[in-house]
Structure 1
Amino acid sequence: MMNLLRIACSVAVLMGWGMAQPAAAAEPEGCPGLIASKESLFSLAALREDEVGLTFLEHATFLIETPKGVRIATDYSDGTRPASAPDVATMNKAHSTHFSHRPDPAIKHVLRGWNPQGGAARHDLTVEDVRIRNVSTNIRSYGRETEYDGNSIFVFETTQLCIAHLGHLHHTLSPEHLQKLGRIDVLLVPVDGGYTLETFDMMEVLRAINAPLMIPMHFFGSSTLNRFLASAREHFAVEFSDRPAITLSRASLPNSPKVLVLPGH
């Protein structure tokens, strides 16, 4: 179905399926040049040295897996998490479905997208073959006031790919945000159109980042997703995958920006 991505060939065997204020420190440089079990759909043998495994668990949680076996869960929460502890968990503050008060103690690196002591969270670390950094943004508080630095766009750099998770994005991005992000190859996008960013403004964000591949998340049923896709089709090609797990590589990126929908919600 998809000529841009190689679907993980071992999925059926493995699962038995038939079926935001900046600190004074220097900014990190930009990127260079399952659902049933909520578990990895990949094995190390299934990934080549230039490939990354990506599995949509649900809501805003993806499992990213690198060739050296590093496992990262995005927007890890008490309700959505892999069955076994990842090596790294990223979180965001806006809602409890995006963070955990009780992350598994086996997780080596718990990265909160906000700073509990105030100011912007600052993350820039390398774990085996992946660099993880963040770009801080603001959120709306429950009183609809601006809460500075309550969200982070996390960027994962591995195998010459730059994957960005927008988190619970509440506003469009400034030139400064875009400069901090650098080149993004794969963008994980909240598309609910209300809890996060309104669809018209999200289209502005997508066109500004201009990633070759965009994957929707954070939608509540087909009507919410289809509303986003109706707008997306005015600007980008849209494809659907029948599996929540895909492999990514720089060589397999599409030649022009494309939205790829993975099953989930």
Structure 2
Amino acid sequence: MKIKWYGHAAFKITTDKGIRIIIDPYEPGAFNGALSYGKIDEEADIVMVSHDHADHNYTKTIAGKYTFIDKAGEYEIQGVKIKAFSSFHDKSAGKERGNNLIFVIAADNLILVHAGDIGHALDADLLKKTGKTDILLLPVGGSFTIDAVEASKMTDALASRVTIPMHYKTKKCAFPIAPVDEFIKGKGNVRWLDKPEVEIREDELPAKPEVLVLQHAL
């Protein structure tokens, strides 16, 4: 499985069979230019949107005849099994920022979880639904999502083997959120890559939980 980070919460997952999944594509220049990552104009077979905000739901530039998922449910598309669970964008049951979807993708004998803009700790029901997690794509910047401390607790709760942080402050994201340094502070098993894409295979998962920091592609 290949994982490419465009920037913010946007990723492209490519399975061993070549199925392309784009998650949470952003609108370039959204929020009066506060989000300045480049345009996502690649093809996809599946596009998934965790919630209806401009930094997560911009599909106009994505090519291909893709299946679109923006509702909770269970799906199987071209051999890829996907579960989408309802959660909230805040700690007030959605009263501040609305709902959010957590995506659980099963492909290539791996379980990948994209937490969208999760704004609260997972309760027992969501932990049970999410289950075994090999790869966790998790917001860590705070303010609009869980913060670094809460993200660390969620990583532990899901026992993810590889955690890839997202939705944090960079030179191309001027949101009032924290940089990734807040999340990785004090963590021993952190690997920085100088590229936006990584390939992860079941037999290559780390023995100890690892944080993997990617460079944004756009």
TM-score, normalisation: structure 1: 0.69
The residue type equivalent to 2:214 in the other structure is L
**CA distance in 2 between partners of 1:160 and 1:61 (Å):** 22
Distance 1:134 1:166 in 2: 10
Change (3 A) 1:104 1:243: closer
Aligned twin of 2:196: 244
Give a deviation string over 1:36-77, Cα, whole Å, max 9, x none: xxxxxxxxxxxxxxxx11111111111100122110001123
Mapped to 1, the partners of 2:89 and 2:49 lie a distance apart of: 14
The aligned amino acid for 1:242 is D
2:180 aligns to what? Answer: 225
Match 1:190 to one of 139, 149, 156: 139
Matches within 5 A, 1:112-261: 112=70, 121-140=71-90, 145-146=95-96, 150-221=99-170, 224-230=179-185, 233=187, 237-261=189-213
Residues 26-65 of structure 1 correspond to what in structure 2 (within 5 A)? 52-65=1-14
Aligned length: 201
1:79-94 equivalence runs, <5 A: 79=28, 82-93=40-51
1:198-223: CA deviation from partner (whole Å, max 9, x where unpaired): 22222211110011100011111286
Measure the CA separation in 2 of the matches of 1:59 and 1:136: 21
Bigger-Rg structure (1/2) = 1
- Superposition RMSD on alpha carbons, in Å? 2.5
2:85 maps to amino acid: V
Distance change (3 Å), C-alpha of 1:208 and 1:250:
same
Give 1:216's aligned amino acid: P
- What percentage of aligned pairs have identical amino acids? 25
CA distance in 1, matches of 2:119, 2:52: 9
Aligned residue for 1:264? 216
CA distance in 1, matches of 2:65, 2:40: 11
Query: For residues 63 and 162 of structure 2, what CA distance do their matches in structure 1 show?
Result: 33
Tell me by how many angstroms 1:95 deviates. Answer: 2.8
TM-superposition CA deviations, 1:6-46 (whole Å, max 9, x none):
xxxxxxxxxxxxxxxxxxxxxxxxxxxxxxxxxxxxxxxxx
- Is this contact kept in 2: 1:66–1:129, CA < 8 A? no
Tell me, in whole angstroms, the C-alpha distance in 1 between the residues paired with 2:13 and 2:59.
22
> For structure 1, which runs of at least 5 residues remain unmatched after alignment?
1-51, 113-120
Distance in 2 of aligned mates of 1:57 and 1:105: 16
Contact kept, 8 Å, 1:89 with 1:107, in 2: the verdict is no
In the alignment, is the contact (CA less than 8 A) between 1:188 and 1:217 conserved in 2? yes
Per-residue CA distance 1:101-153 (angstroms, 9 max, x = gap): 747574421111xxxxxxxx323222223111112101239xx83566x1111
Task: Could you list the structure 1 runs, at least 4 aligned residues long, displaced by more than 6 angstroms after superposition.
Answer: none
